[in-house]
A and B are shown apart, each in its own frame.
Chain A
Amino acid sequence: MGVSEILAYALGIISVASALLVVFSKNPIHSVLYLIITFFSIAGQYVLLNAQFLFIVQIIVYSGAIMVLFLFVLMLLNLNKDTEPQKSNLFKFISIITACSLFISMIAMVKGVGNLNLPSEPDSQIGLVKNLGMVLFSKYVIPFELSSVLFISGMVGAVMIGKKETHDIN
């Protein structure tokens, strides 16, 4: 086993363990912090695959922006034990059913893929910015642009919801 293989396993174990801790830890802030560790270990996997661009985007977008917002919101919440909402048994039952069906569908999805026909000798340079940009702006330009339109519509929607209705006052 080479160094990178050991690192890959170590990162895998860390990411799975911290992902489990996200679910099982009592304190929401701790959950978020474990989620950040998970994201970092995944980013580490990208480095091992020489996908530097994905690595840094993972760090900037997920660890640097989204998780900061998560933490930001959670810090403002009152996390006292007595204010925690008590969930009814029916609610718990429904959530167990939903989670199980999601898990089953995921297993079915993995099994259904069958042979992925992965290239035996993958291009180690594909993760670099230049190559990734070339692929993104030639082969996948339409999905790329469509996703940006999706983001803009999401943003506009968020602004619309967040905006105060002023015309009632005037």
Chain B
Amino acid sequence: MTDSILLFKFVLAIVTFAISLGVAAYATYGERKIAGLFQDRLGPNNAGPWGLLQPLADGGKMFFKEDFIPAASEKFLFILAPGIAMFTALMTSAIIPWTSPILISGALYQVQVADIDIGILYSLGFVSIGVYGIMIGGWASNNKYSLMGAIRASSQMISYELAMGLALLAVIMMSGSLSLNDIVAAQKGSFLGFLPNWNVFKQPVGFLIFLICAFAETNRAPFDLPECETELVGGYHTEYSSMKLGLFLFSEYINMFISSAIIATVYFGGYNLPLIGRFVTDPNALAAIGFAVFFAKILFFIFFYMWIRWTLPRFRYDQLMHLGWKSLIPIAIINLLVTGAVLILKDYL
């Protein structure tokens, strides 16, 4: 029994890894295609049908580029940094519940690599150490633009983590658990009779704050100040080339995928689809539908990331800090207090 669970988890971990990389690879294609479509262009369309082999071509190009290490850099840290960025990006996928439990030869298996007690805190933790890759890379390059990118990344990360945590706390208070599985389970059924019982309808303000912070934490436009081509050349990856640059760029897309998954899990009911339980009862069929639904939600948010990126201009640095400290954190605290008050009132009524 325990052996079969171990085997299942092992297979699941590899599949999760592969899915994260695959989605991230095609997110790069999607980004370029969608950017093209938004700007009335065609986007990549020459590599394979509709340009679908473009990620392979990009990867191949990255591998065959000259791998340049600046002479004045800290070589070990310079090489280590992209690895850290990639590692932390991939680690977070371990706690995401992909779909409802599946039935294999009479036993139910949870489709989640690690159902740990601390659940959502784990993702916060790995997001917060994800900045080390950028910081170390930026400092080790020994370049002023890289250093400025690194400094911007670190201060931005710390500022937005607070509001993100506070927004999540309200959700945690409502579901009474840190485990993502419980948070998803608490979003079954319907809310006010006609809406699905998703947290986004109960926590609209919290969702908005979380969304903004997720943009900031993944260094995506309009919060892409750490790379900021117009001001800092390439920001923290100015000195990087070849696959090391590829890893940095790739980790950004993995982060985007994972954060989309977390938004979908925490605020959009994860793999829940309202009323599906009435029509389908077989657990494996439910799991398949759940997986498809969950993926549709994730893909929507990846699209949303790109949509925002190609719509809004970048923030100025002081605007970024104002938004983080003077707007988001107070609103998040008020949201938390209101949530707490409502939860207490509910017990008395």
User: What residues of chain A have their CB less than 8 Å away from a CB belonging to chain B?
Assistant: 29, 33, 36, 52-53, 55-57, 59-60, 63-65, 68-69, 71-72, 75-76, 128-130
Contacts and interface: CB of A to CB of B under 8 A. Distances in A.
B289 interface: no
B118 A64 contact: no
B60 interface: no
B116 A60 contact: no
B135 A56 contact: no
A145 to B, nearest CB: 16
A59 B151 contact: no
- Chain A binding surface SS class: helix
Contacts of B157: 68
Contact of A64 (B125, B139, B151): B125
Contacts of B121: 53, 56-57, 60
Interface in B122-160: 122, 124-126, 128-129, 131-132, 135-136, 139, 147, 150-151, 154-155, 157-158
Nearest to B131: A68
Given A52-B118, A60-B124, 20 more contacts: A29-B139, A53-B117, A53-B118, A56-B118, A59-B126, A59-B129, A60-B121, A60-B128, A64-B131, A68-B132, A68-B154, A68-B158, A69-B154, A69-B158, A71-B132, A71-B154, A72-B135, A72-B155, A75-B147, A130-B117
Contacts of B155: 72
What are the 7 tightest A-B residue pairs by CB atom distance, in nearest-first order?
A64-B128, A59-B125, A56-B121, A56-B118, A60-B125, A52-B118, A52-B117
A71 to B, nearest CB: 6
Contacts of A72: 135, 151, 154-155
Contacts of A68: 128, 131-132, 135, 154, 157-158
Contacts of A53: 117-118, 121
Contact of B117 (A57, A76, A129): A129
B224 interface: no
A65 B128 contact: yes
A128 B122 CA distance: 13
Contacts of A64: 125, 128-129, 131, 161
A75 B178 contact: no
Nearest to A67: B132
Given A36-B132, A75-B147, A75-B151, A56 B158 contact: no
Given A68-B157, A72-B154, A75-B151, A33 B117 contact: no
24 contacts: A29-B139, A33-B77, A53-B117, A55-B118, A56-B118, A56-B124, A60-B124, A63-B128, A63-B129, A65-B128, A65-B158, A65-B161, A68-B128, A68-B154, A68-B158, A69-B154, A71-B135, A71-B154, A72-B155, A75-B139, A75-B150, A75-B151, A128-B117, A129-B117
A129 B178 contact: yes
Nearest to B121: A56
A129 B118 contact: yes
B123 to A, nearest CB: 10
A75 B150 CA distance: 9
Given A60-B128, A72-B151, A52 B139 contact: no
A65 B155 CA distance: 10
B85 to A, nearest CB: 14
Contacts of A36: 132
A37 B55 CA distance: 35
Contacts of B178: 129
Nearest to B116: A52
B58 to A, nearest CB: 31
A65 B162 CA distance: 10
Interface in B28-69: none
A33 B136 contact: yes
A71 B124 CA distance: 20
B121 to A, nearest CB: 4
Nearest to A58: B125
Contacts of A29: 139
Nearest to B130: A64
B177 to A, nearest CB: 8
Interface in B152-202: 154-155, 157-158, 161, 178
A15 B14 CA distance: 30
Contacts of B128: 59-60, 63-65, 68
A92 to B, nearest CB: 29
A97 B117 CA distance: 46
A113 B136 CA distance: 42
A66 to B, nearest CB: 10
B129 to A, nearest CB: 5
A4 B150 CA distance: 37
A129 to B, nearest CB: 6
